[in-house]
Amino acid sequence: MPANRTSKKEIKRESIIQAAIEVFSKKGFQAATVSEIAERAGVADGSIYQYFKNKEDLFFSIPVEKTKEFRTQLELHLEGISGAFNKIRKFVWYFLYFFTVSPEYGRLLMLEMRVSKSFVKTDTYDFLKQSVSSVLEIITEGQHEGVVRTDTDIYILRHLVLGTLEHIVSRWLLKDGKYDLLRHHQEVSRLIIDALRNPACPGAAPDGTPVKAGPTGEI
């Protein structure tokens, strides 16, 4: 295909995605209609299907750009920060900050896509997962530093970090962002770090508290 035609197609595709973002953000997946998206993009209903397999496929194309943005901005924010716990603090802050600035997108991602079986099969999801999983890198870095516990599967540590953050963001979105999402970011970091902290690491725990063994594994 000629290059000229390709770029025109690309532009049209983009304008459809842009219209889709607006309409889906306003109405959610269900209530949004393909006709409205087509109208807003200035194309016929049928044309959408030249670019996307179906309504869902169009919906799932939205996160691609946003995820790239998340990833590059996060890298920028982590730049120059050393120490796994300092990076965790920054990650927590950035995660909450990101959704503070993009609540409409957050609604789509957190409340509609993240929870869909077909989305999980998507390439977009893999990309997203990989981006968010910089936590995993921070965790292993912390283990090498000796400050992060090595007695627990790192994927469980990730569940704790992302689970806590996603829960906070989801509940906030469900309440229409009626309060400041960032207001407790320091407490959240502190909590997460205390969970990740290596219990055997001298000098890592706070407040000079004397400590002793406790039972684990009891249900």
Partner DNA sequence: TCAGCTTTATGAATGATATTCATTTCTACC
Partner DNA sequence: GGTAGAAATGAATATCATTCATAAAGCTGA
Q: Which residues bind DNA (CB under 7 A)?
A: 1-2, 4-6, 8-9, 12, 32-35, 43-47, 49-51, 54-56
- 61, two tokens: 């194309």
Q: Which one of DNA, a second copy, none is in contact with 34 (Cβ closer than 5 to 8 A by kind)?
A: DNA
Q: Which one of DNA, a second copy, none is in contact with 11 (Cβ closer than 5 to 8 A by kind)?
A: none
Q: Which of 10-18, 40-48, 81-89, 98-106 is the region at the interface with a second copy (rule: CB under 8 A)?
A: 81-89
Nearest to DNA of 7, 130 (CB atom): 7
Query: 111, 173 in Cβ contact below 8 A?
Result: yes
Residue with tokens 């990989």: 130
Beta-bridged to residue 148, according to DSSP, are 197
In the bound complex, what is the minimum distance in angstroms from residue 21's beta carbon to DNA? 15
Q: CA-to-CA distance for 41 and 58, rounded, in angstroms?
A: 13
Name the nearest CA neighbour of 114 among 154, 71, 173.
173
Q: CA-to-CA distance for 73 and 153, rounded, in angstroms?
A: 28
Name the nearest CA neighbour of 94 among 217, 189, 219.
189
Beta-bridged to residue 197, according to DSSP, are 148
Residue 45 makes contact with a second copy by CB under 8 A: no
Site string for a second copy, 102-131 (x = CB under 8 A): --------xxx--xxx--x-----------
Residue 211 makes contact with a second copy by CB under 8 A: yes
176: left (phi over 0), alpha (psi -120 to 50) or beta: left
Q: Which one of DNA, a second copy, none is in contact with 167 (Cβ closer than 5 to 8 A by kind)?
A: a second copy
Q: Which residues bind a second copy (CB under 8 A)?
A: 30, 85-86, 89-90, 92-93, 110-112, 115-117, 120, 151-153, 156-157, 159-160, 162-168, 170-171, 174, 184-192, 194-195, 197, 199-214, 216-219
